[in-house]
């Protein structure tokens, strides 16, 4: 399957005068952005609330709440101009379909609120998250627009979500009943996307349960309790273009949509495509695509094409400054278990990031780092707070910058390089960057 029409990534560089806001990352599981979790309609501020400032620097959580310093010798720099450019590229690839930017998991570790705003500025018309509390946090931060939450469970605050115009997924009768109860409680219809299981084997109503679900949803809609605005599913192997399972899922999805229409439902949108399908499977675009990884400039088909070939630019650059530099003799064991031992007198540099910060321990002896213009590899075991690199005889000093990954402008590794070193995927590398690493946001525009 062809990979769309490649084009050069748009320039998103910002000069030394670019407006930068420094924020301290909150824990990815923290649900509030600048306020406690919403507990009802009254807890949701008006979407008309103004945007967060982009002039800085200020220390804050991702939503702007002041907080104490994290790890001052490291930072994850997020290029919001790259986010905007990536979304624009995805709009181009999507053709007539609308674009939902997926900002779940704190926008894949990049910061949900600033990324959501950048994605909307880049042309996304929808936002998507997994959990309901993620959606309510965006609403509490004043983020407007159509917003879907799909990984829901009994005990979630359905009332608050319906009151805040959060659109919700229902793939089982219990979820439909919860939506009806919420609609009755807040006196407004719940906006639902019915999820069909088409082959992923995860969420959604199985084929044998689908007819009953759409019939019940049609009855609830006729009673005024819900409005079915979407029918959706998720592809299992879109990152393997040409895999026959994609065609089977497309056929199953078309059948599910036809059954929904025969039940009297008229959804606004049908949606199936993730990042990989957005870029490689145009027949799966339907009315709306849901890119996640590609919004952040990373390739969803790394074995087929990299970010540049896809017209994307990685948005996050992870750096740290050496905390220690010392000469050691030949035969020196390095880090826990002495999995690395020096072969001659050499210089060791200590990088103050570890698995508590999201550096994968599985990348021990393999993770790449750019330091002093040279590509180096983690020497020995990645520890909780630090890892070591063997600098040889190159000059170095405490405070020198080590670049773990970025867009590649200086020859630095990418998140995909760390994914290969850790036998993982790029999604995990960026999403796991932890709470101790401050995020800095480059808006890509001159101040004033």
d(CA 59, CA 70): 10
Tokens representing 276? Answer: 């990989």
Distance, CA of 423 to chain centre? 19
Catalytic residue among 326, 336, 340, 441: 336
Quick check: is 326 catalytic?
Answer: no
Tokens representing 21? Answer: 């806001």
d(CA 401, CA 369): 10
Phi, psi of 205 (to 5 degrees): -75, 130
Q: Do 246 and 234 touch, CB atoms closer than 8 A?
A: no
Q: Do 433 and 25 touch, CB atoms closer than 8 A?
A: yes
Quick check: is 104 catalytic?
Answer: yes
> Can you state the angle between helices 173-186 and 207-222, rounded to 10 degrees?
20
Q: Do 414 and 314 touch, CB atoms closer than 8 A?
A: yes
d(CA 203, CA 201): 7
Kindly list the distances between the CA atom of residue 341 and the CA atoms of 93, 335, 394, in Å, as whole numbers in the listed order: 49, 9, 18
H helix intervals, 148-206: 158-163, 173-186
Q: Do 398 and 323 touch, CB atoms closer than 8 A?
A: yes
d(CA 348, CA 369): 13
Catalytic residue among 104, 108, 225, 355: 104
d(CA 97, CA 286): 6
Q: Do 363 and 408 touch, CB atoms closer than 8 A?
A: no
d(CA 196, CA 173): 12
d(CA 129, CA 160): 16
Residue 135's CB: how many other CB atoms inside 10 A? 31
Hey, which residues are catalytic here? 104, 336
């Amino acid at each position: 399957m062809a990979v769309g029409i490649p084009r050069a990534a748009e320039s998103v560089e910002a000069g030394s005068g670019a407006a930068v806001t420094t924020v301290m990352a909150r824990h990815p599981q923290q649900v509030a952005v600048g306020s406690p979790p919403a507990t009802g309609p009254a807890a949701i501020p008006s979407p008309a609330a103004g945007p967060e400032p982009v002039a800085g620097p200020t220390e804050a959580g991702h939503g702007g709440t002041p907080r104490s310093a994290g790890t001052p010798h490291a930072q994850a720099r997020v290029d919001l101009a790259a986010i905007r450019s990536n979304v624009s590229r995805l709009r181009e690839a999507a053709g007539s379909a609308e674009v939902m930017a997926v900002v779940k998991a704190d926008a894949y570790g990049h910061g949900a609120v600033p990324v959501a705003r950048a994605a909307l500025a880049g042309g996304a018309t929808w936002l998507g998250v997994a959990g309901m509390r993620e959606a309510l946090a965006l609403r509490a931060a004043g983020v407007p627009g159509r917003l879907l939450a799909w990984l829901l469970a009994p005990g979630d605050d359905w009332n608050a979500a319906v009151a805040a115009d959060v659109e919700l997924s229902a793939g089982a009768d219990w979820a439909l009943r919860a939506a009806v109860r919420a609609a009755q409680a807040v006196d407004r219809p719940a906006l639902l996307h019915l999820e069909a299981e088409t082959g992923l084997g995860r969420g959604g109503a199985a084929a044998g349960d689908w007819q009953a679900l759409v019939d019940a949803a049609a009855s609830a809609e006729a009673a005024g309790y819900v409005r079915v605005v979407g029918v959706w599913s998720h592809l299992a192997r879109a990152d393997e273009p040409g895999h026959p399972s994609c065609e089977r899922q497309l056929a199953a999805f078309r059948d599910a949509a036809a059954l929904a229409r025969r039940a009297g439902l008229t959804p606004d949108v049908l949606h199936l495509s993730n990042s990989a399908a957005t870029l490689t499977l145009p027949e799966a675009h339907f009315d709306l695509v849901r890119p996640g990884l590609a919004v952040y400039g990373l390739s969803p088909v790394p074995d087929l094409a990299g970010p540049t070939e896809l017209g994307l630019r990685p948005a996050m650059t992870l750096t740290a400054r050496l905390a220690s530099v010392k000469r050691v003799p030949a035969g020196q064991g390095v880090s826990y278990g002495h999995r690395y031992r020096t072969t001659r007198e050499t210089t060791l540099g200590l990088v103050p990031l570890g698995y508590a910060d999201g550096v994968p321990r599985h990348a021990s002896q393999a993770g790449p780092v750019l330091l002093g213009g040279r590509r180096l590899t983690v020497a020995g075991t990645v520890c909780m707070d630090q890892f070591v690199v063997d600098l040889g005889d190159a000059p170095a000093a405490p405070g020198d910058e080590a670049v773990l990954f970025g867009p590649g402008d200086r020859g630095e590794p990418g998140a995909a390089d760390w994914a290969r070193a850790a036998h993982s995927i790029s999604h995990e590398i960026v999403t796991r960057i932890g709470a101790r690493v401050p995020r800095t946001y480059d808006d890509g525009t001159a101040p004033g």
